[in-house]
Amino acid sequence: MKKLMLLVLTLALCISCTALAKPALEKPVQPFDNPSRAAEAEDNGTIASANPFTVGDPMSAAIDPAGDIDFFAITGTSGDCVILETHAGDGTDVEDTKLYVYDAAENELADDDDGGEGYYSMLEFEFPADGTYYIKVIGYNATSYQGTYVLTGTACPEPPEVYPGGETCAEAANLNDKTVFSLNLCDYTNDYDPTGDGCTGWGAMGPDAVYYVILPAGGTVDVCVTQIAGYTDLSLYLLSDCGDPLNACVAGDDSGNPECITYESVEGGTYYLIVDTYSSCGGGEVLVTINSMVAAEESSFSTLKSLY
């Protein structure tokens, strides 16, 4: 009987362990690409020993050993908004973090588990009053997760113009007179997919929005898309024919946010910009920035002459 009870208990524990496991990521997490950053100073395992942290200054840190707790102190003004995010570090990464914000009385004010890329964390925090607040970073659990990570804090962007795209190419919105705008990809469904054999190297099975641009021969378009709130695994590509996303893709990017493409049209014509997602809308809100464009309805005779 004792052996049977022990077996049942062991199975229950194993089932519990399995329940805690997360599925393997299909896409690799991109490492944080800014080498200029401060370094965490241990021991910072309590609010009293928190490392100072400044918005705009990335911090290299580590959960080491497993179960390690890192605290960082951030000072802000009432109403200010900051995006706090953990990223992959230097190769021996923790891979899965949890992120919390506390006030000086150790009241929890915000938390996130998987809001960033992969299983990293990201949250948007508005300072409720002037003062110092405390960021806590831990591994997903206290036994299996340890390694490096990077903590960043960036000011929340001012809300840009909202400019919805079309659901399909037949309903595409005109891109020719735009420079920067936002949209919420959670408002759309999945209509297009360049597939893993296409111009981005990855499929895009999540919701997508469509814009169009008319380029003259020699006309160019240079555009980027990035998330505004919450992590969204984005994909961006330009089609000459919406009926054939695999073969009619003339430029595409799915290398890690932001996604950016540049294309110069040889013959001119109408092209369709697809703001797409790998699997889901994620945080939803994204920012589209037109860095440069020479488009048909903007091209004077002198502009066209300069292209030849």
Q: CA–CA separation, 34 vs 89, rounded Å?
A: 10
Instruction: Identify the pLDDT of residue 30.
Output: 79
Contact predicate 93/148, CB 8 Å? yes
Residue 49 falls in which region: left (phi positive, over 0), alpha (psi -120 to 50) or beta? alpha
> Six-digit token pair at 64?
């080491």
Q: CA–CA separation, 261 vs 272, rounded Å?
A: 13
Domains of the chain (ranges; CATH) run 29-155 (2.60.120.380), 169-296 (2.60.120.380)
Instruction: Identify the pLDDT of residue 295.
Output: 63
Q: CA–CA separation, 232 vs 68, rounded Å?
A: 28
Instruction: Identify the pLDDT of residue 36.
Output: 77
What number of residues does the chain have? 308
What letter represents residue 292's amino acid?
A: S
Contact predicate 140/99, CB 8 Å? no
**pLDDT per residue as tens, the chain (308 positions):** 333 333 334 444 444 444 456 888 777 887 887 777 899 999 999 999 999 999 999 999 999 999 999 999 999 999 999 999 999 987 788 889 999 999 999 999 999 998 888 899 999 999 999 999 999 999 998 888 999 999 999 998 887 899 999 999 999 999 988 999 999 999 999 999 999 999 999 999 999 999 999 999 999 999 999 988 778 999 999 999 999 999 999 999 999 889 999 999 999 999 999 999 999 998 899 999 998 887 654 443 333 333 33
Instruction: Identify the pLDDT of residue 20.
Output: 58
Instruction: Identify the pLDDT of residue 21.
Output: 66
Exposed, middle or buried, 133 (CB in 10 Å: 0-12/13-18/19+)? buried
Contact predicate 240/248, CB 8 Å? yes
> Six-digit token pair at 119?
């299983």
Q: Can the peptide bond before residue 187 be classed as cis, meaning omega within 30 degrees of 0?
A: no
Q: Within 13 Å and on the Cβ side, how many CA atoms surround 42? A: 7
Rg of the Cα atoms in the chain: 23
Buried b (16+ CB within 10 A) or exposed e, 172-193: bbebbebeebbbbbbebeebbb
- Of 265, 259, 263, nearest to 289 by C-alpha is 259
281: three-class secondary structure by DSSP: coil
Exposed, middle or buried, 41 (CB in 10 Å: 0-12/13-18/19+)? exposed
Instruction: Identify the pLDDT of residue 11.
Output: 41
* DSSP state string for 10-56: HHHHHHHHHHH--PPPSSPPPBP-----EE--S---SGGGPEE--TT
Q: CA–CA separation, 150 vs 127, rounded Å?
A: 22
